[in-house]
């Protein structure tokens, strides 16, 4: 199991930051994770000793920088069990990765009347690009609904997938924590003749990921949620699909040749990586992957399942009907994300009071406004745990909620 005290000591901000002599309780990893010393040091060392442009220059320093950059791609492929590192495309973030799919593959393959199936618990990054394509091309969007406990209602899945070209869904909800049956959904998509696209931003940092076992066609995720830096995201796709797609953007590095009459593209993955890439970020990403692998993703999952159970029992046991935690109670099918309503307090008021106790949570719609509509709320308070959290952090959250009750007269 995870030694949380040891892990936390490896995160400078968590180990060293105090406010009014009280330690920081960081419960917003669903938004972005903190960074361990190994990631910070890897990026600093590269900038101090090895920085150079990659791919274009032939001198030794540039060659070394190129090798270090590509090592980040290799690390990502290893983490998700991709057949080839060449199937890993670096993007600015996971949102850009999802837009790449919709705008490159979608524009080349979807026309008026074609069907894209989404779920009601998607992040805007897996909604808006398809809605943009719908406005542009007349693509139809269908929605998989939810059960009362926040799981996908798959009772009419075959009907929804009939004639569909795409099923695009999250591997873990950033609001409900729900972990749907990804492998089953990919198989259902393929049986209907549709592509299976997985937004794995909330899944990859917390679970063993095997894209070959899923048999997905595309998987998008982000560095900054898995102890790596911001500014770099990942798109994995099956090579035959990536090869067949037109480029998403044009410019340097994605070309094979350019003439006055036109251009030809470089092979995948360069085909989708125009311009100067996030070189330093790829170095940090590689260090983050190694850090997670050192702890073991299966160990991280087991730690978070135990902490999730403790959080659900603690919060429900302490506050009863005064708190509503959205999503499944079964920790086998949910991750460590707790979106909740607390008494009649506005989520932003709850967040502000918790901040005064050094407890960092998020309040708002969490880039999932359609899901808020389904839940019948405008916003929720969201706490999310990771490998550096423990039961004391959950206790601090509960104590902070008691403090909110006192302040607002409950």
User: What is the reported pTM?
Assistant: 0.96
Report the C-alpha gap between 108 and 316 in whole angstroms. Answer: 49
Q: CA angle, corner 88, sides to 83 and 91, nearest 5?
A: 165
pLDDT value at residue 336: 98
What Rg do the C-alpha atoms of the chain give, in angstroms?
22
Cβ atoms of 208 and 177 closer than 8 Å: no
> What does pLDDT average to over the chain?
96
Residue 269, preceding peptide bond in cis (omega within 30° of 0): yes
pLDDT value at residue 23: 86
Least Cα distance to 180 among 140, 218, 207 occurs for: 207
What b/e sequence results for 135-151 when a residue is b if at least 16 CB atoms lie within 10 Å of its CB, and e otherwise? eeeebeebebebeeebb
Cβ atoms of 127 and 368 closer than 8 Å: no
The catalytic residue positions are: 367
Report the C-alpha gap between 160 and 167 in whole angstroms. Answer: 10
What is the chain's pLDDT, residue by residue, as a tens digit (410 residues)?
899 999 999 999 999 877 777 789 999 999 999 999 999 999 999 999 999 999 877 899 999 999 999 999 999 999 999 999 999 999 999 999 999 999 999 999 999 999 999 999 999 999 999 999 999 999 999 999 999 999 999 999 999 999 999 999 999 999 999 999 999 999 999 999 999 999 999 999 999 999 999 999 999 999 999 999 999 999 999 999 999 999 999 999 999 999 999 999 999 999 999 999 999 999 999 999 999 999 999 999 999 999 999 999 999 999 999 999 999 999 999 999 999 999 989 999 999 999 999 999 999 999 999 999 999 999 999 999 999 999 999 999 999 999 876 677 65
pLDDT value at residue 410: 57
User: Residues 4, 333, 384, 314: what is their CA dihedral angle, to the nearest 10 degrees?
Assistant: -80
């Amino acid at each position: 199991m995870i030694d949380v005290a040891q892990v936390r000591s490896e995160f400078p901000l968590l180990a060293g930051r105090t406010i009014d002599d009280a330690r920081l309780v960081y419960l917003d990893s669903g938004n972005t994770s903190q960074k361990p010393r190994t990631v910070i040091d890897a990026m600093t060392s590269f900038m101090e000793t090895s920085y150079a442009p990659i791919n274009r220059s032939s001198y030794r320093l540039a060659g070394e920088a190129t090798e270090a950059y590509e090592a980040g791609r290799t690390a990502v492929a290893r983490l998700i069990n991709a057949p080839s590192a060449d199937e890993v495309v670096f993007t600015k973030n996971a949102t850009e990765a999802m837009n790449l799919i919709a705008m490159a593959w979608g524009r080349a393959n979807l026309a008026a009347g074609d069907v894209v199936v989404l779920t009601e618990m998607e992040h805007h990054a897996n909604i808006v690009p398809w809605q943009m394509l719908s406005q542009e091309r007349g693509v139809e969007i269908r929605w998989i609904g939810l059960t009362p406990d926040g799981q996908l209602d798959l009772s009419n899945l075959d009907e929804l997938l009939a004639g569909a070209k795409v099923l695009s869904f999250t591997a873990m909800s950033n609001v409900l924590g729900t972990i749907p049956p990804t492998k089953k959904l990919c198989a259902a998509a393929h049986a209907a003749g549709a592509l299976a696209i997985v937004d794995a931003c909330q899944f990859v940092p917390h679970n063993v990921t095997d894209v070959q076992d899923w048999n997905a066609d595309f998987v998008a995720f982000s560095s900054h949620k898995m102890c790596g830096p911001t500014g770099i995201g990942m798109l994995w796709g099956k090579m035959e699909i990536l090869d067949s797609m037109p480029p998403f953007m044009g410019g340097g590095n994605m070309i094979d040749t350019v003439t006055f009459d036109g251009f030809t593209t470089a092979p995948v993955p360069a085909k989708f990586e125009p311009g100067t890439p996030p070189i330093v970020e790829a170095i940090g990403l590689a260090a983050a992957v190694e850090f997670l692998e050192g702890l073991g993703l299966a160990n991280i999952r087991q730690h978070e399942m135990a902490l999730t159970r403790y959080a659900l029992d603690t919060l429900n046991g302490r506050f009863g009907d005064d708190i509503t935690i959205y999503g499944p109670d079964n920790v086998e099918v949910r991750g460590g994300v707790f979106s909740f309503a607390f008494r009649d307090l506005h989520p932003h008021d709850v967040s502000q009071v918790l901040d005064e106790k050094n407890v960092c949570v998020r309040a708002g719609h969490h880039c999932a406004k359609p899901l808020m509509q389904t839940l019948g709320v405008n916003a929720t308070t969201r706490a999310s745990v990771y490998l550096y959290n423990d039961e004391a952090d959950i206790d601090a959250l509960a104590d902070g909620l008691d403090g909110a009750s006192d302040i607002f007269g409950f």
